[in-house]
Amino acid sequence: MKEFSRFIVKDLTKEFDGKTALSRFSLEIANGEFITFLGPSGCGKSTALNCIAGLIPITHGEISIDGECIDDGRNKIPPEKREFGMVFQNYALFPHLSVFNNVAFGLRLRRLPKPVIHEKVQAALKLVHLEGHENKFPTQMSGGEQQRVAIARCIVLEPRLLMLDEPLSNLDAKLRTEMRNELHTLHRRLGVTTIYVTHDQQEALALSDRIVVMRLGHIQQIGAPGQVYADPANLFVADFMGFKNIWDAALGSLRENGDTLDAELTVRGLRLKARLRYPQGDPRRDALVAAFKAGTAVKTAIRPEDIRVGRDERGAPVRSRVTLVEYQGQTSYVSALMENETPVELRPSTPVRIGETLELNIAPEKVFVFAPGEG
């Protein structure tokens, strides 16, 4: 497969009928990286993918590979000459062609010799575990098998960039997990640079080297999965990545202590402490310090799994009454009302019952605080 050193998207903007769908999207991708565009429907992730692929024209910005501009909105290399491979959400297979002929289609357009085509197709089918299915038609195959055919049709052309647009969204939960694992294994074996579009946080966390979180056409955060999960850049990212307990709060005090900020908060009369590890120069730290005034309205964000049940020597527990229990196998999703009537979600490690009173503890370092207007 063709390699490159630097793939750069700079200030990519796309407008439809005067409305901005993608705004100043900038990203640099290294050879062999697995990049995921993550966000809710309508955030611009598929628009960004199609602009990069050359399938829709860009309004402003530039796309370049190793210093060579392939698209600046005025001059562009056609999509078929970019040597990119695209896997669509709906598979886009030819129903009248067999599996072999679907995979061989692009190779035949390149007028390769028959023996070469046969060898490459067999190798691609082996990679996606479809040996022996050469003579089947798409309608004779399951959704997961059809998706593998679509992937084989791409990788057989040895693209320098593989692009996948919500490839697993039409599959059931079990097949999604299986295909996700196969995609991960395939990427490790081939090392092909990949851009993957999804709205599923678990897919993004499991597959990616880096995640690009998007909202309303704007990039919210770019980072490794662990960074995006544990250190969200703003309230939107926190909410999207599973911080279910997002409460309105008022700052009582804020004390700087090296790379941490120690904050005291009030949530509907309930006192809460937060220890924020925002180093010097972090815009979140600067925003909080600039906004600080006793009584300043802020937002707190806490993961359900970071709320512990039982007494803790670090502070007084918060009494809460269980209102809902959803059994999920290894864990349960529990909703409760704290003593100040604020709803709280948690994931206790031991069974609880509806109506039961729990003592909850929230460690200060597990509380995120966002300044007014963030997110």
Q: Catalogue all structural domains in the chain, each as residue range(s) with its CATH number.
A: 6-236 (3.40.50.300), 237-370 (2.40.50.140)
Q: How far apart are the C-alpha atoms of 274 and 262, rounded to whole Å?
A: 6
Mean pLDDT of the 101-124 span: 94
Please tell me the predicted confidence (pLDDT) of residue 169.
83
- The answer to whether 231 and 301 have CB atoms below 8 angstroms apart is no
Angle formed by the axes of helices 143-155 and 114-127, to 10°?
130
* Of 195, 225, 181, residue with least CA distance to 36: 195
Of 240, 241, 239, 220, the residue nearest 229 (C-alpha): 241
What CA–CA distance (Å, rounded) separates 334 from 365? 22
Residue 99, pLDDT score = 95
Kindly report, residue by residue over 23-38, the tens digit of the pLDDT: 999 999 999 999 999 9
Q: What percent of the chain has pLDDT over 90?
A: 72
Which phi and psi angles does 20 have, rounded to 5°? -85, 115
Confidence of residue 116 (pLDDT cuts 50, 70, 90): very high
- Backbone φ and ψ for 146, nearest 5 degrees, come out as -65, -40
Are residues 128 and 147 in contact, defined by beta-carbon separation less than 8 angstroms? no
Mean pLDDT of 76-80: 92
| pLDDT tens-digit map of 172-183 | 888 888 888 888
- pLDDT for 143 equals 85
Which of residues 51 and 142 earns the better pLDDT score? 51
pLDDT of 251 higher than 60: yes
DSSP string, 257-296: ETTEEEEEEEETTEEEEEEE---TT-HHHHHHHHH--TT-
Residue 352 backbone zone (phi > 0: left; psi -120 to 50: alpha; other: beta): beta
Is the pLDDT assigned to residue 315 strictly greater than 70?
no
Name the token pair of 54. Answer: 């050359």
Cα–Cα–Cα angle for 316, 336, 350, rounded to 5 degrees = 75
**Location of structure tokens 């439809």:** 16
User: Per mean pLDDT, which range of 112-121, 197-206, 290-299 is the poorest?
Assistant: 290-299
pLDDT at 313: 55
Mean pLDDT of 350-374: 89
Type of residue at 219 = I
More confident position, 336 or 288 = 336
Average pLDDT, the chain: 91
